[in-house]
Amino acid sequence: MKQSLFESRHKAGWEQFALTLDRLERGKNASRVATFAKDYRRLCQHLALARERGYSSFLVDSLQQMALRGHQQLYRHRSRLGANALAFILAGFPRLVREQWRFVLAAALLFFGSLIGFGLLVYLFPDLIYNLIPVEQVNEMQSMYDPVAGHLGRTAERAASENWVMFGYYIMHNIGIAFQTFASGLLLGVGSVFFLLFNGLMIGAVAGHLTQIGYGQTFWSFVIGHGAFELSAIALSGAAGLQLGWALIAPGRLPRGEALRLAARKSVLMICGVMLFLLMAAFIEAYWSSLTTPAPMTKYLVGGALWLLVAAYLIFAGRARHARE
């Protein structure tokens, strides 16, 4: 391809890339910043083609100069992305949870209320569990927490699995529950309410049954550690789903589509924090909760500390910085 044709075909893109570079270098938001990495890769491809085809040094030098400037901006913004992610984890996420406290409170009451309530009912009336969970699954749960089984929280088939395998399994399983609880909020919030109640009933039924038959120490010492992050994440995913549903039910003066779009921004950010909680829960469950060597009291103390840590993080993190701003 002749150089003149090559230039005429790509000149507009180069000029647009140069304008984006100018705006970024002046610290302004560029309209094409979302596609900056793609534009930069295309420019590098054009530079390689210009060199390979022996085009004029003027063209090669100008493309190379833009590529160098683009490289600097690309990695500057990548580092800024990392800093923004860290700021969200340390302050932005807990502030968002506190900002949405009404939805968080409603979700927590639905989830933990059903969990505790049905757990007590099953403990007092043991046969109730079979109205919710099939006999085969109840027997499987009993085998997972049998004090003489030699393993905790895993079926006999999975007892010999490597911790990293179970880590991946826990992540996929927990993310599935959280996303289901969140996304079903689009059904006017009814879906999120259902899954919050359903998961609360299921967990409460298992807890009440295992405690009633004498497996409480193995069960509670297993779940108390990772439960701080996992159960909190389920409640928070429900809060994000309820926010979506409320935007559809009561959009206020905004059109429903616009109200849903605004609510989705905060809900998706909430789910990003939920994913972090679930990652930590899966790690603790795979590498700590399943251990049989620590004494139950040690696990209770560690688990209690983790619950306090989660509560302190959600209540206090980001307050000082927010007050200064």
Residue ranges of the domains in the chain? 3-87, 100-324
**pLDDT single digits (tens) 215-236:** 999 999 999 999 999 999 999 9
* Sign of the torsion formed by the C-alpha atoms of 200, 206, 209 and 210: negative
3-state secondary structure 156-201: CCCCCCCHHHHHHHHHHHHHHHHHHHHHHHHCCCHHHHHHHHHHHH
Residue 91 has pLDDT above 80, yes or no: yes
- Give exposure, 284-298, as e/b (b: 16+ Cβ within 10 Å): bbbebbbeeeeeeee
**pLDDT single digits (tens) 131-161:** 999 999 999 888 888 888 766 666 655 554 5
Q: What is the share, in percent, of the chain residues with pLDDT greater than 70?
A: 90
- What local confidence, expressed as pLDDT, does residue 325 receive? 47
User: Could you tell me the pLDDT band of residue 28, with boundaries at 50, 70 and 90?
Assistant: low
Lowest-pLDDT choice from 39-48, 77-86, 127-136: 77-86
Tokens 């393993």, residue? 151
User: Could you tell me the pLDDT band of residue 99, with boundaries at 50, 70 and 90?
Assistant: very high
Residue 311 has pLDDT above 90, yes or no: yes
Integer CA distances (angstroms), 72 to 29, 40, 46, 156, in order: 16, 11, 18, 54
**pTM score > 0.85 for this model?**
no
What tokens appear for 140 in the block? 């499987």
Which residue would you say has higher pLDDT here, 323 or 69? Answer: 69
**pLDDT single digits (tens) 192-212:** 999 999 999 999 999 999 999
Q: What is the dihedral of CA 274, 203, 297, 303, to 10 degrees?
A: 10
**pLDDT single digits (tens) 228-267:** 999 999 999 999 999 999 999 999 888 988 999 999 989 9
